[in-house]
Structure 1
Amino acid sequence: MLRIENQAIVFALLCKCTVETEGEKGREVIQKGMIRYGRERGARMAARAKANGDPIALWTNQAYGEWKPDYEGQMEFGYDETEPTLKSYISKCAWCDAWNKYGLLEYGREYCVNVDKAVYEGFCEDFVCTPNVPTMSWGGKRCEFDWEQPLTEEDMAKMNRKKQELGTSAMRDFDYHTAHIYYTITDEIQKAFPESADEIIRNAVQDYVKLFGQAEYNRILEFEGERF
């Protein structure tokens, strides 16, 4: 089974190869893909909440998260405040650890520019998530976010009950998440750069296979044609 590291690195390599070939225009296309990816994730979360008869609210957004760390202690995150607006933080990040491990932080950090904002907007187009400081990948000591609305004690209790009720049923494994980011980003590359896209993607895949092996790339290909 793939892990956070796989998703982090497949993204970073696609970004690296795109920027090396197409420069700043390539970086813009990667960001377009990241916004699309985040909004698709958020829309899935909202669809699950609605299917279960739950409202579209901050507490359901927090309850219907689609992923969990690969192991205990891999991530460190929590809340600084819940009112008058929810303020959350991340102080240890598996994505940053992966990009640093493979020397890809310069490219991997593009993941962080819009992903949280885009997921929240995908959940509800009127919702706003604002980073309070530079993320760790961009030199901050930790990532901090203001969710622009309160998470009251009543909402917190509802969120915790819902998380317990859902367990892992609303989550996707990182085979799915890695494939989602791969197919979304490569689709945007192909649309933006029809003449160079095949070479960009081929180079990124070759670098990924060197690191993780063909079998772990094949796990991504199992999702070809998936409607994320």
Structure 2
Amino acid sequence: MNDNNKVSNKIADDLQPVSMYQMFARMFAHLAKEAVDEFGDKGAEAIKRGVWNFGVERGKGIAKRAFARGKPNDSDNYLISYDMDRSDEFESTDSYYEGYVEQVFSRCVFASEFQKMGMEQYGILYCEMIDPAIAYGYNPDLKCRHDKHFFTDNKCTFCFKLEKEKGAADE
């Protein structure tokens, strides 16, 4: 075959493609590392604020998705209105209860990439902030409890529960 006829955007059959999730995790870890190396705690706090703002924006979009389906932005409709498709690089079990949802991840490509790179200390800046921020953007009364993390527990656990803000008027 003439080299001039090669297709430039095709991955060779003998190479494993790198997913967008893997690329995102790698890019995030490198950006966070640079910010923390350069600015210390202030850099880490800036990264966390950026992740929070990103998450709130996503949560607002998820609320719009629930609304477009004619559903309230409550805990029952949170995960089914989610904006990120679950690839086979994630594995979770969702359990629905009266007023809350529990989610247990047994596989997460983000955590896996952070661990492969030895950059858990930077990845945790994403992991600790993103889900509470998305939940808040979706509904400020939807609280996210994130008790277990891959970096210490080999799984991530979440509980999403609607709670009234302190001082809110009773109905």
Q: Same fold (TM over 0.5)?
A: yes
Q: 2:43 matched to 1:29?
A: no
Report deviation, 1:3.
1.2
Output the aligned Cα RMSD.
Answer: 2.0
SS of 1:38's equivalent in the other structure is helix
Letter in 2 for 1:98: E
In structure 2, the partner of 1:110 is: 125
Unaligned runs of 5+ in 1: 150-228
How high is the TM-score relative to the length of structure 2? 0.76
Please show how residues 54-203 of structure 1 align to structure 2 within 5 Å.
Answer: 54-70=71-87, 72=88, 74-79=89-94, 82-83=97-98, 85-133=100-148, 135-137=149-151, 139-148=152-161
User: Aligned in 2, Cα 1:48/1:79: closer, same or farther, shift over 3 Å?
Assistant: closer
Cα shift readout 1:110-161 (whole Å, capped 9, x = no counterpart): 111111111011001111111133x113x12311112225xxxxxxxxxxxx
Q: Deviation of residue 32 (structure 1)?
A: 0.5
TM-score by length of 1: 0.58
Taking every aligned residue pair, what percent have the same amino acid on both sides?
Answer: 27
Structure (1/2) with the larger strand percentage: 2
- Which consecutive segments of 4 or more residues in structure 1 shift more than 4 A? none
Higher helix share: 1
| Equivalent pairs, count | 145
Query: How far apart in 2 are the matches of 1:75 and 1:84?
Result: 25
Q: Deviations over 1:164-209 (max 9, x none)?
A: xxxxxxxxxxxxxxxxxxxxxxxxxxxxxxxxxxxxxxxxxxxxxx
Specify which structure has the bigger relative contact order, considering alpha-carbon pairs within 8 angstroms and separated by 6 or more residues: 1
* Residue 69 to residue 89, structure 1, CA distance change in 2 (3 Å): same
Residue 114 of structure 2 contacts residue 120 of structure 2 at CA under 8 Å; is this kept in 1? yes
